[in-house]
Amino acid sequence: MGKRVIITGVPGVGKTTVVEGAMKALATEGIIYQPINFGSFMFEVAAKEGIVQDRDQMRKLDRTVQKKLQKMAAQAIAAIEGNIIIDTHCSVKTPQGFLPGLPEWVLSALLPDMLILVETDEDQILQRRLRDPTRIRDMEGSRGIADHQQFNRSAASAIGVMTGCTVKIVKNQDFLLEQAIQEMAAALR
Amino acid sequence: MGKRVIITGVPGVGKTTVVEGAMKALATEGIIYQPINFGSFMFEVAAKEGIVQDRDQMRKLDRTVQKKLQKMAAQAIAAIEGNIIIDTHCSVKTPQGFLPGLPEWVLSALLPDMLILVETDEDQILQRRLRDPTRIRDMEGSRGIADHQQFNRSAASAIGVMTGCTVKIVKNQDFLLEQAIQEMAAALR
Amino acid sequence: MGKRVIITGVPGVGKTTVVEGAMKALATEGIIYQPINFGSFMFEVAAKEGIVQDRDQMRKLDRTVQKKLQKMAAQAIAAIEGNIIIDTHCSVKTPQGFLPGLPEWVLSALLPDMLILVETDEDQILQRRLRDPTRIRDMEGSRGIADHQQFNRSAASAIGVMTGCTVKIVKNQDFLLEQAIQEMAAALR
């Protein structure tokens, strides 16, 4: 059976860039990971089941339905063969607080081998978000970003205890993208 | 079914003041939450079962009995209809370390929708405690208060992963009580 | 039944020195704890089962076999009578990230009463490691040590929520060993 790796990081940390770089580096060595976006995968499950027609409806689902869809998506992902990288949120900031993106029922279905947290200094994240016009609406200060990253770290350690998976922190600092890619590739190798 | 919200915060953070303000604000909009103190509720359960006569005896209970009472109280609270706010400790500082106030067997019975942590700067908490003559006996330094708040935050994120509830941090800073009340009301609305 | 206490701390924090001092102090009062090293205990279980011949082979075990051995060791330890102190790692730093030393299947077998984290300033730990020639190979900076201690603290709070055990932080600061010993003895008394 292949490796099941979960990749998380707050919006703007540059998670996708690091993952793509690491996958490219590993591919040259013949190590293949299939990338899976948990949210998109869950939408496809919901659409196939006739529960939603478009992605906007996903956010308005009843809590019980959402939980059931999360479980179904996790089970389907767990059945995939070969190495997989599951891109998802450790938690999402909502007016009701941090909503865990990897609750117990998702974890017990996925049984991950590794959880990678991509992090960097909150001020760097703030500046990256300021340069991205699509993120302007939900702008928060660097204090809020630091709280979010701290929450994710704590959640990650709880996930480690609950599932036994390793928890790898990869720093994606300004001017040091190549280092982040190499570190992630080394963990995935 | 109503919302089940747990409110926690270290002694002296002003949790009760914020909760009462938020409940008052929401009541004017017709949104009603029933406040429940977990400790008092548990005592009533224990008294009804003939296990204790007064509250002092609650602290000296055998660990197994305490666990059983916690479970019974949590199940009875979960059966209450309408929105409820459960006031309890995320952890209690004891000579044996931080004692979790929301262990797994309480959480799996309560199945909360939201956990609210009321926090503020440790120095402000220290000063609030210094002004309160009833707290003098167990005085600790600001370093200890910071450790306690950090422990509660980590515990809160573990609770989020285990139950799927959202975790909301509400800051109750000096001179900004009204802001804290509005923030809590917004999360409860 | 006796007390089951787990003691953890990052390499170089001086865990063993504090534990031995506390056990000696308690022995003069007639309070006896049996010390158990989880790793050594697990090796003995593996050797008895004919799974390994020497300790080096322990690190190369298949994940499923390791999990099974951890469970067997935890169950055997839980059956020991009297007070026990279990010395183990909260997490081990590996190229794949922090590997939890106390995953759920170990905890649910051990059902600890208390988890003690021995900590100190990361710079002091760095200097203690620099003075120890056996640790030179895996040297890391103080930032990495701080991250490791933070990860262990978060993991400890998750363990508290999952098992209901108390979590005690004992600081083992330079020049203050006696204070650390007294604090640990007080928690174990």
Q: What is the ipTM of this complex?
A: 0.95
- Determine, for residues A104 and B162 on separate chains, whether the beta-carbon distance falls below 8 Å: yes
Pairing state of beta strands B114-119 and B4-8? parallel
Would you tell me how many other CB atoms lie within 10 Å of the CB of residue A135? 14
What are the tens digits of pLDDT across the range A85-107?
A: 999 999 999 999 999 999 999 99
What are the tens digits of pLDDT across the range B51-72?
A: 999 998 998 898 899 999 999 9
A10 within a domain of the structure (yes/no):
yes
Return the pLDDT at A87: 97
How far does CA A114 lie from the centroid of its chain? 12
C171 within a domain of the structure (yes/no):
yes
C11 within a domain of the structure (yes/no):
yes
d(CA C149, CA B112): 30
Q: What is the CATH number of the domain that holds B107?
A: 3.40.50.300
* Cα angle C150-C153-C157, degrees, rounded to a multiple of 5: 145
C184 within a domain of the structure (yes/no):
yes
Query: Hey, what are C17's tokens?
Result: 């020195």
Which of B4, B6, B157 is the best mutation test for A, with the most CBs of A within 10 A? B157
Per-position b or e across C131-145, b if 16+ CB within 10 A of its CB: eeeeeeeeebeeeeb
Confirm if C92 and C99 have CB atoms less than 8 A apart.
yes
Tokens 């990495």 correspond to: C144
B46 within a domain of the structure (yes/no):
no
Confirm if A33 and A188 have CB atoms less than 8 A apart.
yes
Entry pTM: 0.96
Please tell me the number of Cα atoms within 13 Å of B32 on its side-chain side: 4
Residue C6 burial class via C-beta count within 10 angstroms: exposed 0-12, middle 13-18, buried 19 and up: buried
How far does CA B31 lie from the centroid of its chain? 21
DSSP 8-state secondary structure symbol assigned to residue B64: H
> What is the domain count for chain C?
1
Residues facing residue B5 across a β-bridge = B85, B114
Quick one: closest CA in C to A155, which residue?
C154
DSSP 8-state secondary structure symbol assigned to residue B7: E
B50 within a domain of the structure (yes/no):
no
* Cα angle A144-A149-A153, degrees, rounded to a multiple of 5: 145
Return the pLDDT at C63: 87
Q: What does the pLDDT average to over C151-168?
A: 98
**For residue C138, is pLDDT > 80?**
no
**Minimal Cα–Cα distance from C56 to chain B, Å?**
34
A56 within a domain of the structure (yes/no):
no
Between A94, A147, A162, which is nearest B166 by CB?
A94
Return the pLDDT at A137: 65
Query: Hey, what are A128's tokens?
Result: 């990256």
pLDDT profile of chain A (189 residues), mean per 10: 95 95 97 96 95 90 93 97 97 96 98 97 93 78 95 98 98 96 97
DSSP 8-state secondary structure symbol assigned to residue C28: T
Query: Hey, what are A126's tokens?
Result: 């703030």
Confirm if C161 and B155 have CB atoms less than 8 A apart.
yes
Domain that holds residue C180: 4-37+83-188
B76 within a domain of the structure (yes/no):
no
d(CA A98, CA A79): 29
**DSSP per residue, A8-28:** E--TTS-HHHHHHHHHHHHHT
Q: In A, which residues are within 8 Å of C154 by CB distance?
A: 153-154, 156-158
Chain B residues whose C-beta sits inside 8 Å of any chain A C-beta = 113-116, 153-154, 156-158, 160-169, 186-187
Q: What does the pLDDT average to over C168-172?
A: 97
Please tell me the number of Cα atoms within 13 Å of C138 on its side-chain side: 11
Residues facing residue C6 across a β-bridge = C86, C115
**Minimal Cα–Cα distance from A52 to chain B, Å?**
22
- Determine, for residues C167 and B151 on separate chains, whether the beta-carbon distance falls below 8 Å: yes
Between B97, B107, B150, which is nearest C166 by CB?
B97
What are the tens digits of pLDDT across the range C3-37?
A: 999 999 999 999 999 999 999 999 999 999 999 99
